C-alpha cells in the first residue's frame, strides 16, 4: 500500500540520506508542469545548521526580530518534462513543528524588494541564492543549494518537512 505522506520528520530525512519525491499543486497552467498540473521534484536534505548572522554583510537590514535563521543544505532534481524556475522549490518546501505551526522559506525582501540575504557573499558561498531566481532547474539534473528558515528560538523544538499544497514520500 503506497501511502501519501504530508510531512516527514526532519531528523529522519537528514540521518537517512534518502531522496524524497515531492509534488505540489499550484493550480498553475504552465506547460512545463506534469500532465495533472502538479509540480514534481525530488528532494534530499543534507544538513540544517544555525546561521551566524554576523557572517552576513549588512545583517542589520535583515528583519529577523527575535528568531533564529537556519541554513538547510539540500539537493533537488526537477522531475517535470521541461525546465522550471528555481523559486518554485522555495515556494513549496516548508517546515512544521509539533504544534502545527508552519514556517515558509525565509524571504528577506524590504519595501523596495531588495534581497539582502540572497544577494550577499554569504549566499554565494553557501548556495542560498541557488533557488531564488537565477538558473533554471533542468529536468533530471541534480542541483545543490540551500534554503533559509526563520524559526523561533527554541532548541528543543522538533520539525518536519511538508510540501505546500502537496505530498512528500520516500523514494
Provide the residue range defining the domain that includes 153: 7-170
- Please count the structural domains in the chain: 1
92 falls within a domain: yes
C-alpha cell at 123: 549566499
pLDDT at 35: 56
Please provide the size of the chain in residues: 171
100 falls within a domain: yes
Closest CA to 105 of 113, 95, 115: 95
Average pLDDT per consecutive 10 residues, the chain (171 residues; last block may be shorter): 68 95 73 64 96 87 85 95 86 94 84 69 92 86 95 92 93 92
Tell me the CATH number at 66. Answer: 2.60.40
2 falls within a domain: no
Closest CA to 157 of 8, 7, 11: 11
77 falls within a domain: yes
pTM: 0.88
User: How far is the C-alpha of 6 from the C-alpha of 49, rounded, in Å?
Assistant: 24
pLDDT at 61: 78
151 falls within a domain: yes
Closest CA to 108 of 90, 95, 96, 125: 90
1 falls within a domain: no
Amino acid at each position: 500500500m503506497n501511502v501519501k505522506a504530508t510531512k516527514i520528520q526532519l531528523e529522519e530525512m537528514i540521518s537517512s540520506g534518502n531522496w524524497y519525491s515531492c509534488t505540489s499543486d499550484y493550480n498553475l497552467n504552465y506547460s512545463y508542469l506534469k500532465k495533472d498540473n502538479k509540480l514534481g521534484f525530488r528532494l534530499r536534505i543534507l544538513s540544517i545548521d544555525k546561521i551566524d548572522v554576523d557572517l552576513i554583510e549588512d545583517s542589520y537590514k535583515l528583519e529577523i526580530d527575535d528568531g533564529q535563521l537556519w541554513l538547510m543544505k539540500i539537493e533537488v532534481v526537477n522531475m517535470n518534462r521541461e525546465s522550471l524556475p528555481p523559486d518554485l522549490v522555495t515556494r513549496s518546501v516548508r517546515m512544521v513543528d509539533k504544534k502545527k505551526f508552519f514556517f515558509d522559506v525565509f524571504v528577506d525582501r524590504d519595501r523596495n524588494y531588495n534581497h539582502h540575504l540572497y544577494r550577499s557573499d554569504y549566499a554565494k558561498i553557501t548556495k542560498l541564492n541557488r533557488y531564488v531566481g537565477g538558473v533554471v532547474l533542468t529536468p533530471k539534473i541534480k542541483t545543490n543549494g540551500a534554503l533559509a528558515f526563520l524559526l523561533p528560538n527554541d532548541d528543543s523544538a522538533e520539525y518536519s518537512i511538508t510540501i505546500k499544497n502537496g505530498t512528500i514520500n520516500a523514494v
